[in-house]
């Protein structure tokens, strides 16, 4: 079987794509074949395929002064209006927040789970018996799962990377496991998220050029294996899943460009930018994000992984990113840091002890307009579980308000001036 040296994907009428394949000939030239969405005869030596669209993305508006855009992603579990922030439910649930609170108080449209952690606990056997993660956790909206690639980075002390995959020891009991691209696809098929991520290596920062280049090449080879396995399998629960590849390359412009071009050529339903927000200066993050967004297809959603502060997200939106996730709002909430529409509050500070004003009088969430700063400080100070719950709901509702307001401003044509004001206001310490 001859493998194509190069392919280019172009969309025609949904749900089909044209696949342009280039095959090596004995005289050194490339033979070209066009895969049509119906049965045509081609030489048996050519492995021909087409991509069936499983997720629809439309752009409703583009900001005239920045690259921000307002769009919609349609999945089998619902529609996501972009730009969007995805609360992180690493183990299937967002810490200290009920599913109905995510939906009714926070306004979440999609949540994120982690393949590594769900594989270890509760395990894919339990998730399969439940009928997938949606039925297991009771969330009826879209779900995205990370592939475990970030754990390859964060668990460096207990893992070993090789061409086959990443071998690691469980942080729970020390047991040994091997994640290959094929196995990660199989696990995510069993978890059943609407959007699943390709297996990659997230490089650390700082990272020398040679390591970053070799790691990027490994990520690309793993991606080809992910795509092959993905195309050979189906979701276990009867609905469609979309596979997003991930751009890597650390903070090196030439590597980011090469990786973005490679990822763009895959013709995936959406694309992600990984390996950022791992310690590099914000300006480097923005430079790499802008470079990559200029290369990735404009008609596909772009996902900036693991980002970040309110300012990071607003700057990312201005650069053309559509989707974000981060543990920051919930993790910081459990430590007493509140993100509000007025700025940042450390609720542990003495100054809030007898402040009986609402937590956030401008919040979309009624709970934040009802409870006072003094009451929340009391709960946090006495380590009442309700304190972590209210703080987490506050932070997530603010993040979802922020991206919803960004969308409104894009549609109204006023995003650039609004963003400039909000970046300062939302990051001000109160």
Query: Which residues does the annotation mark as catalytic?
Result: 146, 325
Distance CA 356, CA 13 (A): 58
C-alpha distance from residue 365 to each of 51, 75, 417 (Å): 42, 26, 25
Q: How far is it, in rounded angstroms, from Cα 350 to Cα 292?
A: 45
Q: Which residues are paired to 73 by β-bridges?
A: 57, 80
CA distance 195 to 198: 10
The DSSP bridge partners found for residue 247 are 273
CA dist., res. 351 & res. 340, Å (int): 17
Upstream peptide bond of 334 is cis (omega within 30 degrees of 0)? no
**Paired tokens of 250:** 């650390």
Sheet containing 323-325: order of strands: 84-86, 323-325, 302-304, 271-273, 246-247
Q: Which residues contact 397 (CB under 8 A, 6 or more apart)?
A: 105, 106, 107, 363, 364, 365, 367, 368
On whether the CB atoms of residues 303 and 324 are closer than 8 A, the answer is yes
276 neighbors 305 (Cβ within 8 angstroms): yes
Integer Cα distance of 417 and 419 in angstroms: 5
Cβ of 283: how many Cβ atoms within 10 Å?
9
- Which pair of structure tokens corresponds to residue 228? 């092959």
What tokens does 336 get?
A: 């007493």
Max intra-chain CA distance, the chain? 83
Under a CB-based contact definition with an 8 Å cutoff, are residues 144 and 194 in contact?
yes
Instruction: Give the 3-state secondary structure of residue 66.
Output: coil
Cα 86 from Cα 68, distance rounded (Å): 18
């Amino acid at each position: 079987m001859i493998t194509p040296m190069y392919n280019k994907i172009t969309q025609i009428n949904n749900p089909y794509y044209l696949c342009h394949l280039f095959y090596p000939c004995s005289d050194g030239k490339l033979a070209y074949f066009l895969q049509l969405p119906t049965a045509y005869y081609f030489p048996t030596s050519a492995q021909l395929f087409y991509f069936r669209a499983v997720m629809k993305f439309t752009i409703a508006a583009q900001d005239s002064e920045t690259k921000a855009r307002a769009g919609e992603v349609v999945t089998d579990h619902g529609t996501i209006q972009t730009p969007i922030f995805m609360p992180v439910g690493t183990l299937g649930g967002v810490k200290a927040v009920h599913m109905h609170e995510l939906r009714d108080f926070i306004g979440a449209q999609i949540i994120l789970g982690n393949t590594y952690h769900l594989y270890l606990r509760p395990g894919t056997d339990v998730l399969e018996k439940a009928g997938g993660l949606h039925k297991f956790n009771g969330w009826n909206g879209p779900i995205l799962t990370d592939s475990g690639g970030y754990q390859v980075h964060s668990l460096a002390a207990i893992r070993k990377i090789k061409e086959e995959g990443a071998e690691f020891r469980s942080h729970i009991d020390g047991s040994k496991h091997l994640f290959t691209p094929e196995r990660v696809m199989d696990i995510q098929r069993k978890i059943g998220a609407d959007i699943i991520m390709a297996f990659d290596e997230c490089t650390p920062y700082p990272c020398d050029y040679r390591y970053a280049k070799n790691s990027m090449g490994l990520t690309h080879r793993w991606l080809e294996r992910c795509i092959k396995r993905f195309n050979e399998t189906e979701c276990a629960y009867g609905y469609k899943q979309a596979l997003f590849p991930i751009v890597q390359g650390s903070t090196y412009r030439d590597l980011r460009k090469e990786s973005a071009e490679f990822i763009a050529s895959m013709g995936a339903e959406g694309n992600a930018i990984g390996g950022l927000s791992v310690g590099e200066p914000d300006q480097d993050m923005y430079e790499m994000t802008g470079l990559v967004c200029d290369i990735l297809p404009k008609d596909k959603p772009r996902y900036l992984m693991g980002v970040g502060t309110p300012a990071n997200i607003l700057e990312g939106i201005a650069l053309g990113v559509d989707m974000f996730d981060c543990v920051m709002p919930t993790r910081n909430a459990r430590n007493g840091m509140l993100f509000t529409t007025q700025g940042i509050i450390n609720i542990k500070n003495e100054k809030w002890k007898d402040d009986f004003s609402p937590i956030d009088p401008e919040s979309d969430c009624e709970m934040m307009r009802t409870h006072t700063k003094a009451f929340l400080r009391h709960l946090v100070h006495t380590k009442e579980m309700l304190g972590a719950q209210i703080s987490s709901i506050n932070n997530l509702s603010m993040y979802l308000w922020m991206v919803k307001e960004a969308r409104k401003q894009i549609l109204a044509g006023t995003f650039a001036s609004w963003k400039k004001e909000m970046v300062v206001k939302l990051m001000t310490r109160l």
